Chain A
């Protein structure tokens, strides 16, 4: 059971905008930046968003991140079939002195 709460699943049709939430506490999201990872089926995770809202080189601007208080969100606009994957939020947690991963959200493109 993760200290971070993500919805287990999300879905959308091609072209739609979907949002995935990540709820934490003052020891993690409330006091540290949030990173997001995408894991396509059968592959290693990939860094999608870092420092709450920054995109690494090569990540399309359809992906965006935000943070407010003890919650963070990942938004995907112009949904594409290739976005079907598991998404994880991951801030540092001061109480645990380590990174914590959310439970993951499985995104299905209908």
Chain B
């Protein structure tokens, strides 16, 4: 079964760092993009960016450039998004999704990781 399984919910304080993961299984991890999408409480979907695990080619949304860092470990078919210094405004659900080359249609989604940043 093709699936993406994300790491569990996190509760952090402002200024702390965080790295959440997205483990792929059931397909060749290096042949598809992995995208990250933010959904703030009660709000719509926001595209954060994508990474191509084969060569770590990365594209960031202007809104997230410099705020997060994407990475991927081909040896364990896992993608990551990392924050160096969290803010309360980073509180949101974060989804990873598999992106088809060309259309960047996200056909497989992870279950989401809820990140809460509060003092």
Could you list which residues of chain A lie within 8 angstroms of chain B, going by C-beta atoms?
2, 33, 35, 37, 39, 44-47, 50-51, 56, 86, 88, 90, 92, 96-104
Contact = CB atoms under 8 A, between A and B. Distances in A.
B40 to A, nearest CB: 12
Interface string B84-119: 000000000001010010011111011110000000
Given A44-B95, A96-B62, A37 B45 contact: yes
B44 A98 contact: no
A96 B109 CA distance: 23
Given A97-B59, A98-B61, A104 B45 contact: yes
Contacts of A45: 37, 45, 95, 97, 106, 109
Interface string B34-51: 010100000011110110
Contact of B100 (A46, A50, A97): A50
B103 A56 contact: no
A88 B47 CA distance: 12
Given A47-B106, A47-B107, 9 more contacts: A35-B104, A44-B110, A45-B45, A45-B95, A50-B103, A51-B103, A96-B62, A99-B35, A101-B44
Interface residues of B, number: 24
Interface in B1-53: 35, 37, 44-47, 49-50
B45 A46 contact: no
Q: Which of A2, A39, A47, A97 counts the most B-chain CB atoms under 10 A from its CB? A: A47
A51 B102 CA distance: 10
Nearest to A99: B47
26 contacts: A35-B106, A37-B106, A44-B112, A47-B105, A50-B100, A50-B103, A50-B105, A50-B107, A56-B107, A86-B44, A88-B44, A90-B47, A90-B106, A92-B103, A92-B104, A96-B61, A97-B59, A98-B47, A98-B49, A98-B50, A99-B47, A99-B104, A101-B37, A101-B45, A101-B46, A102-B44
